[in-house]
Amino acid sequence: MIADMFTSSFLSDMRRKALRKGVWYKALDALERGILSLTSRVIERVESAVLGVELVKIISKLAPPELARQTFHPTPGYKPSVP
């Protein structure tokens, strides 16, 4: 599930690779950079489906074009609840 996919080490690696490739500032706005950085520092494993979906959107911007074409889906049947 999402918890297995997004760990702090995975998110830190994505940030490091994006910085090396020079896409960190080009592909992401300040809010997206903040979400990814803060999540990798504060949370050991992402358990929230809503946060996981947002991270998928952010990470898809950092992926190479051939990987960005793949569609990532949250848990089947997941629908965010609106308070």
pLDDT digits (tens, 9 = 90+) for 21-74: 888 999 899 999 999 999 999 999 988 889 999 999 999 888 765 444 444 555
pLDDT at 1: 52
| Residues in Cβ contact with 15 at an 8 Å cutoff, skipping those fewer than 6 apart | 24, 36, 37, 40
pTM for the full model?
Answer: 0.69
Q: Which two tokens stand for residue 31?
A: 């809010």
